[in-house]
Chains A and B, each alone.
Chain A
Amino acid sequence: MSQKQSNQIEVGDGAAIPNPEDKGLVSAWYIALFGTLALIILLPWLKPDPYLNILRFVPDGILVTFEVTVLSIALAIVIGLLTGLGRLSPNRFINLIASLYVEVVRGIPLLVQLFYIYFALGRFVQVPDIIAAVIAMAFCYGAYMGEVFRAGIKSIDYGQTEASLSLGFNRRQTMAYVILPQAWRTILPPVGNEFIALLKDTSLVSILAVADILRRGREYAAESFNYFETYTMIALIYLLITLVLSKLISVMEHRLSHYERR
């Protein structure tokens, strides 16, 4: 039976997520984490100027990066849910709108979308910089998230819908009380991946003069000319964040797969 399964190539957007069964990857994760931690601690300790100065310069940037990431993912999940439901809707008009949105957004590079929402639309609607960044990121990731939701909902056996309908639930109730609670388990892990991918992509908002980690680093480098040291620290900070997050997501995934393993 297992022969029938086609070979799947999985390329995640985030850092490699350690699978507890895969010993090789687990050790790679540990080496990367401890290497990063050691460098982040050792470099400023051995050479306070400039490494410690850089570490002092960027913390508010880390906050902004997280702010943009969390707000964007929250908004993207809402947009994604609506898009996913729209793509499955029997109503042809709603279906068309949702599909059109996904098609358009996926065809435009994120950087161009950021410029578009910030500068092109800025002539008509004025929103503060961080909000503009959040809207642009959520607008883009909402489309990807929509596909995740659609796949998650479709993964639930149609028998569930039939059973629910025969018990007297209407379509909306079926979706809200029967299908979605089950689909969450399939949906959450890829959402976690998207979260990490989004966090990395927020480095693009530095182009909008939003003071995130990368922007702060660039400001430091432009003033001190310590390009090597600054970008080394910036890369290490991003790496540390994504490594920790990918571990958290792997733990979550492990918990969620609890039922399947029985």
Chain B
Amino acid sequence: MVQRLLAVLVLLATLCSPVFAETTIVFATDATWPPMEFVNDQKQIVGYAIDFMTAAGKEAGFVPVFKNTAWDGIFAGLAAGKYQAVVSSVTITEDRKKAMDFSEPYFTVRQALIVNKESAAKKIEDLKGQKVGGQIGTTGYFAIKNVDSVEAKSYDEIGLAMEDLNVGRIAAVVCDDPVAANYALDKYKDNLKIGSIIETGAAENYGVAVKKGNADLLALVNKGIAAVKAKGMDQELKKKWIGQ
């Protein structure tokens, strides 16, 4: 009797569970990009993008799971289906759109040039013949490569480039402005400064990348992003993580 009851309960549970279970989306993130996404001293992945997606999940009904992944292979893993989406300060570019689909933008940045305190450089072109570093495969690195007169150096992580700039092996680093602010105004504030914000035409938008053709997932993520923006939660998050 008890066994039969249990069996019925188990059956009921299996039948009902899909109704209660929310969709889980595994997001890959390269958590070396403070303050957007990084690992804090408690070894948790935190940051603006993490809070944003968690809030978006609450609004649209999905549970985000964040998987720390090296930037270098992050799009290869997406194509291989190791995770469903990438939320890692990915700027929406035409080249990238050919390889993957993007959600609506969730953040806007510009590229910043970080230099030594004593440097007078205002743009990349000012550093003729010198080495300028950026993270491999980022829009900051592409901006350096577009300037022929400087030597572009690609790093695995932006923090390593900052350290090289700090000890003087390279003349400047180019990266997204919130990240630049985090390093130049906080961690290395005695040595480094933001030389300038590079005006390369349009501002850059961060989007969530999903595998090409995954329209259902994209719709769900877009719904969440729209809801967070509509409620003004993104402004609160900006205050929390970026300040001004």
Contact = CB atoms under 8 A, between A and B. Distances in A.
Real complex partners, A and B?
yes
Interface of A: 119, 122-123, 126, 128-129, 207, 209, 211, 215, 218-219, 221-223, 225, 227
A218 B163 contact: no
Given A207-B156, A209-B164, A218 B136 contact: yes
A209 B155 contact: yes
A225 B78 CA distance: 11
Interface string B124-153: 000000000100110000100000000001
A123 B165 CA distance: 11
Given A119-B160, A211-B153, A222 B169 contact: no
Interface size bucket, B side?
20 to 34
20 contacts: A122-B169, A126-B167, A129-B169, A209-B133, A209-B153, A209-B156, A209-B160, A218-B72, A218-B136, A219-B136, A222-B137, A223-B95, A223-B137, A223-B142, A225-B75, A225-B76, A225-B96, A225-B99, A227-B76, A227-B79
Nearest to A231: B76
B145 to A, nearest CB: 9
Secondary structure dominating the interface of A: helix
A221 B160 CA distance: 20
Residue of A129, A215, A223 most packed against chain B (CB within 10 A): A223
Interface of B: 71-73, 75-76, 79, 95-96, 99, 133, 136-137, 142, 153-156, 160-161, 163-164, 167-169
A126 B79 contact: no
A126 B168 contact: yes
A230 B120 CA distance: 39
Contacts of A218: 72, 136, 154
B226 to A, nearest CB: 28
Contacts of B169: 122, 126, 128-129
A66 to B, nearest CB: 20
Given A123-B167, A209-B160, 13 more contacts: A122-B163, A122-B164, A122-B169, A126-B168, A128-B169, A209-B154, A211-B153, A211-B154, A221-B72, A222-B137, A225-B75, A225-B99, A227-B79
